[in-house]
Copies of this chain bind each other. A is one copy, B any other.
Amino acid sequence: MTADIQPSLGDRLPIGGTALQAKIAAAAIELFYSQGSVATTVREITAACGLTPGALYNHFASKDHLLYVLVRDIHLQVDAQMAATLANSGPNPADQLAATVRLLVGHSAGFRKQSRVANREFTFLTGPWRQEVRDIRRQIRDRMTGILLAGAERAVFALAGGDDLASATLSSVTITNMCVHISAWALENYPLTISDLQDRYAQIALRVAGARPG
């Protein structure tokens, strides 16, 4: 169901981490997803891994550092997958938009807990860590904006509000948010598979972009 996802930085968190770091990361994602990072203690994370509380500090400087590494690496993986998707989807902006939307929907529906943690908990990062994640988010947004602008220039798309940069960016953030904040209803009650959801969202995104028929 997630065949469209092509991880190029590995699909394990943190990127380049050891097996034990990956185990800590998996436990943290579960806890951050269900109760939020603020309410989660180091003790709960290590207990879920069968470790003593102090053991976490051999791998991460703090709970907030662990959150930062996880949120950063989830964003880095999605950004790298987006670059790979763009490189492999040919020159037509409509094809690029559909492929990119399929990737984002595949991630938010197929890696639901990672996606929720990345997109909800990043707001609790501060300082340079938050800035770094914002920069990656901006890069993801700019890739989408680039597709829309290229399509507008080639008259493949007719963007809402006009074919200027601001209108392209507004459509870009709308489409990206649509894929990232895929509704709990769609995931829990919708009678279709993730692949079907990818198709539906791609169709909706092409409508948002004002894709011309054919």
Contacts and interface: CB of A to CB of B under 8 A. Distances in A.
A186 to B, nearest CB: 6
A19 interface: no
A83 interface: no
A107 interface: no
B183 A174 contact: yes
Contacts of A170: 186, 190, 200
A208 B204 CA distance: 6
Contacts of A171: 204
A65 interface: no
Q: Within the oligomer, what is the number of copies of this chain?
A: 2
Contacts of A191: 166
A174 B175 CA distance: 10
Is chain A's interface secondary structure helix, strand, loop, or mixed overall?
helix
A194 to B, nearest CB: 13
A120 B122 CA distance: 12
A178 interface: yes
Contact of A124 (B36, B141, B204): B36
Contacts of A190: 166, 169-170
Contacts of A210: 207
A171 B203 CA distance: 11
Interface in A125-151: 141
**Interface-central residue, A39, A178, A182, by most chain B CB under 10 Å:** A178
Interface string A166-210: 110111011011100111011000111000000011011001101
A55 interface: no
A144 to B, nearest CB: 12
Given A38-B38, A174-B204, 14 more contacts: A35-B124, A36-B36, A36-B38, A160-B200, A160-B207, A167-B200, A170-B190, A171-B204, A174-B178, A174-B183, A177-B181, A177-B183, A204-B208, A207-B207
6 contacts: A36-B123, A160-B200, A166-B191, A167-B200, A207-B208, A208-B208
